[in-house]
Structures are given as C-alpha cells and as structure tokens.
Amino acid sequence: MKRTAILGLLLLQSAVAHAAGESLSLSDAELGRLGVVFAAPEAAAWVEVAAGPAEVVIPPTRQVVVGPSVSGILSRLLVAEGDTVEAGQAIAEVESNELLMLQREYIDAFAGNELAAVQLQRDRDLRADGIIAERRLQETSAAATAASVALDQSRQQLQLAGMSKKALESLARGRQLSTTLTLRSPLPGIVVRQLSPLGSQVDAMGPVFRVADIATLWLEVRVPQQQAAAIAPGMHVIAPDFDARLYAEVFHIGPVVDEASQTVLIRAVTDNAQLSLRPGQFLSARIVAGAAGDNRTYVVPSRAVVRDGEASFVFTRTRDGVVARQVRLLSDNGEQSSIASNESIDAPVATTGLAALKSIWLERRVDEG
C-alpha cells in the first residue's frame, strides 16, 4: 500500500490531536507500517550549550575608589595592593593645608555659634523684661540661625573630608589643628590597586586606592552569536579544568553583538567566599544547562527532533500511540541533539518515521483549526 494511502487510513482511524501534549492514537501495526522506531533518551546531568574563555571581573557595585575630598600630599601608605581591609580601616594619610583651613573655619563657626546662642538668650530675657524692642530680638534670632547654619556647613565639609564626629568634638574642645587627613576604606574587601604613588600631589577627590569586595564575582564569557540563542538565564557556567565545584549562574545575555569578534557577552554571578577566584583571571569555561533548575536535559539522536516553526518537538511512546512533546533544543552536532524538557521524559522517543508522524500531527491540527 502506498504511503499516502496509509496516511489517509490512519487519519480516519485515529483520534483527533491538534497540539503538543495530546496523543496520536496509533497501533503497533500502524507504527510499524510508518517505519517508526523508538529509542530511550539518554538523561544528562548537564548539557554543554556553549564554551569559551571567561574573565573573572568585579561587579561595579562591589568596588570603590578611595581618595581625599581635599587636595594634599600623599604622605603615608598604611596598606599595599592585595591586602585585606575592614570597613573603616585606615589605609592612607594625606597632608593638606586645605584641611587646616577648613578646621580654622570650623573653630570660628563653633565659637560664633556659641556667642550667637548666648546673645539670643540674653535678648530673650531683656525682651521679657520689656527692656528691648521686639525688632531687636528678631534680629538677634536671625543672627543665631545664620551662625547655626554656618556651623553645620563647616561641620559637613570636615565630615566629607574624612573627620569623624568624635574628632570634630575633640577639635571644638581642644582647638588642636592638624594637617593630617586619614583615608579609610568604606567597605570590607581587598586593595585591588594603588592609584597614586607615595609623596605625590593628590587633588580633591583624586584616586589613591581601589578597594573591592570580591566575595561575589562575575564570569564574563564571550560566545559566538549562533550559540547565544540557546543560552537562557539560570543556566550555569562551569570551569572543570580549574575547579569542578565552581558554578556560576547566568543572569545576563548581551543584547548586542561585538562587531570585531561577532560574539555575545554572557555574564554569570558566582560566590567567591573562599577567595579561590582572582579578578582579572581567565578560565576555560563551559555554559551548561541542566545543572540546576526545573528543566530535565537529555541527549537524543538529531533525527528525533522535529521542528514546527521556531518550536522543537519529540514524539514519545504512549500506550495508545505517540505524543508530541515540546522541548528546547540546546545544541545539535548533526548526530546528537541536547534537549531540555519541563517534565521528565521517561518513555522512548521516535527516531525514524518522523516525517510521517509529523504529517499526521500537522494535518490534524489543520483539520481542527
């Protein structure tokens, strides 16, 4: 019997199925006439989707540049590149005449505020006794407010310069001026880079050290644009040649293609609490699916995967025939395909006779449509 006749017979005999997940009722004899052969899919702990060199980088939100808010001479270094530092730890000292000027202004503002406060209280008492006019009290009150604002401004300038509240209180009481400004690390981490040499002139906000928290790092992998379409957030980047325990989770897939290399940037985040990774390091990395998450990954013969537009399917064996199950195609080397499914595939998949099965399936979808 010709194939077209067989297909016509099967279309009349079988129950209607018009979408993935619904069965095509086909007997063993009918499957045999269609030349359908089944094979068990091979479960995979993970499937390689892409590979390439990965650079270890520090996330921008986990690093800072430390420098003085006033100009001066970098007179002392208290740490070196690679040292571990705590938040608030002193890391350098700067000698600054500008700092000296700010301290003088603060002492003057402090004294002026105290004097204005005394004057205000005296005039309030005099006004209560009817000795001075209301206008005089208003003028004194305005002067006291201006003195308080000037003190707050001077205090904030010194705090921005790096002086603590305790140091400001000591300055106000003891009137001991100092040209030495201590730079402190704003976060725990390591000293990544020294940006100014000892003895150099450092401008206000000029960089002295770059400090980074490297407990969390990124792996940046550039992959050919053809492979980028198969990569999804939640996949993992591994570097088995470096450390079999290393897993980084993909969270960013670049929206543009590099013109020179025709590659797409993939970013993955990884925990580095043990400090096994070093920023600037390059690794031979693989992007894999199935290492984590709900997807199940399998390896099947390439011919077992059929396409319907942008979607991919496999036909799995059921008691009454076959069912078209949508999968995600991860990779295909011409002989084997790596696929991911949201449900476990615990039945054999069709490896031959796919053209006939697809024809039946699509025809029924058209009839139902």
pLDDT at residue 3, rounded to an integer? 47
Q: What global pTM score does this model have? A: 0.64
pLDDT at residue 170, rounded to an integer? 85
d(CA 213, CA 211): 7
Residues 6+ apart with CB under 8 A from 166: none
CA distances from 151 to 103, 120, 168, 211, 234 (A): 11, 16, 11, 33, 53
Q: What does the buried/exposed string (b/e) look like for 4-37 if buried means 16 or more CB atoms within 10 Å of the residue's CB? A: eeebeebeeebeebeebeebbbbeeebbebbebe
pLDDT at residue 8, rounded to an integer? 43
pLDDT at residue 19, rounded to an integer? 47
CA distances from 211 to 116, 135, 184, 220, 225 (A): 44, 56, 10, 21, 35
Counted residue by residue, the chain has a size of 369
Below-50 pLDDT ranges, the chain: 1-19, 291-293
pLDDT at residue 14, rounded to an integer? 39
**202 beta partners:** 72
CB 223 within 8 A of CB 243: no
Q: CB neighbours (10 Å) of residue 265?
A: 16
pLDDT at residue 74, rounded to an integer? 96
pLDDT at residue 20, rounded to an integer? 55
Sheet holding 201-202, edge to edge: 180-184, 90-95, 72-77, 201-202
The pair of three-digit structure tokens given for residue 176, joined into one six-digit string: 């001991």
